[in-house]
Amino acid sequence: MGRLFWKIFFTFWLTLLVAGTASGIAVWWQHQRTDTPFSDHPPPPPPNAANHHPPRHFPFALFAAGMIASFVSSFLLAWYFAHPIRSLRGAFRALANGDLTRRVAPEMGSRRDELADLGHDFDDMATQLQSLMSSQRRLLHDVSHELRSPLARLQVSIGLARQQPEKIASSLERIEHEAGRLDKLVGEVLTLSRLESGVPQPMDEYIDILELLDTVIDDARFEANSLSRRVSFQCDLEDSPVIQGRGELLYRAVENVVRNAIHHTAPDTLVTLGVYRDASSSNLHITVDDQGPGVPEAELQNIFEPFQRSSTGSNSRNGYGLGLAIARRAIESHGGTIRASNRAEQGLRVEITLPLPQQSSAVS
């Protein structure tokens, strides 16, 4: 039984107690004044009735006072419980009409019961909905902005192909390149949408971590060589742990982090991918270090949001797109965490933490 039950119980009990006490006092006072015994048929008046006080009438004044007191207390009781419910009803109506800024906690005052808890839960729900709607609007705006540039270049290439038929080969190459960028962007948006939809994803694959990291490193080295970067791999695992999840999501998560490091590290520098096991917490840690300009401390928490841009202008690829956002959602769907921090030497470190099963098997 919660606080609201006891409030109702004691309030009604005190109301009945006050009403009953007032009625008893009124009856007792009436009989005391008339000297009438408590019976249905009072005895006849004595011969010297003139020496006795005449019987008094019913105390309507006291009865009216009791009625007024019970009415006021009942009114206050009804208001006390109906007011927050009315506020909640108005807030739900405003929410249904699209007003996500409505909050009911200020109207609850200093209440400390289930109705106040319900009001706080409503405020939390409204805040979460407002955040989700803002994120969706921002994502829609950013996607529209990102789509505009390759679409504009496609239109220019098509126009050049029509005006200058002798350059149709280069125009077709540009069209193919921009079409590939559009396809990649749409694919990333769909992946991010699936991860943020909240629909449970099947986690029925057994993933060999070292095999997955080896694949990521091979692909990363191919891209790094074309950009005059180098990639190294450091591992202190004696065996290869196997975790259950979705191999494609984990691969994309680690690959996006490594590719981000490759494109933001300085030319002719090293990107280091490390993996180690924390025996005390049964977690697997994957770190990716670059030697780029790093990220301002105030922006570290935002680089995992879609289309976030860094204020550092030392790199021509000054943006994070959707890669890190997909990485965060993919890691969180596996029960892990991902965070970024600036290295003391120089550059950025992204650390991925994944929970390991109690007994992880090794791959021979």
pLDDT (tens, 9 = 90+) of the chain, 364 residues, equals: 556 556 666 776 677 667 767 776 767 676 666 655 545 555 555 555 555 555 455 556 655 666 676 677 767 777 777 778 888 888 889 888 888 888 888 888 788 888 888 888 989 998 888 887 887 777 777 777 777 877 888 888 888 888 888 888 888 888 888 888 788 788 878 877 777 776 666 778 899 999 999 999 988 888 888 778 888 888 888 788 888 888 888 998 999 999 889 988 888 889 999 999 887 878 999 999 999 888 888 888 888 888 776 666 444 444 447 888 889 988 998 899 999 999 988 899 999 999 988 654 444 3
154 burial (CB, 10 Å; 0-12 / 13-18 / 19+) is middle
Could you give the CA distance from residue 305 to residue 323 in angstroms, rounded to a whole number?
9
Q: How far is CA 245 from the centre of its chain?
A: 23
By C-alpha distance, which of 209, 252, 212, 214 is closest to 233? 214
pLDDT of residue 38: 47
Rounded Cα distance, 328 and 341, in Å:
15
Hey, how many other C-beta atoms are within 10 angstroms of the C-beta on 342?
15
Predicted local confidence at residue 184, as pLDDT: 79
| Three-state secondary-structure class, residue 252 | helix
Q: How far is the C-alpha of 16 from the C-alpha of 339, rounded, in Å?
A: 61
- In DSSP terms, 273 is beta-bridged to 233, 288
Active site residue 145: yes
Out of 31, 41, 145, 263, pick the active-site residue: 145
Look at the alpha carbons of 55, 59, 61, 62 in this order and tell me if their dihedral is positive or negative: positive
Q: How is residue 86 annotated by DSSP? A: H
Supply the pLDDT for residue 363.
Answer: 41
Contact yes or no for 267/312 (Cβ under 8 A): no
Full strand arrangement of the beta sheet holding 230-235: 230-235, 270-278, 283-289, 348-355, 337-342
Distance between CA 339 and CA 79 in Å, rounded? 50
CA dist 251 and 324 (Å) reads 13
- The answer to whether 349 touches 289, Cβ cutoff 8 Å, is yes
Cα 310 from Cα 182, distance rounded (Å): 23
Specify the 3-state DSSP secondary structure of 311: coil
- Give me the pLDDT at residue 30, please: 65
Q: How far is residue 1's CA from residue 4's CA, in Å, rounded to a whole number?
A: 8
Q: What is the pTM of this model?
A: 0.60
Q: What are phi and psi of 225, to 5 degrees?
A: -65, -35
Look up residue 37 and give its DSSP letter: -
pLDDT at res. 5? 59
| Whole-number pLDDT of residue 211 | 92
Closest CA to 260 of 285, 290, 237, 284: 290
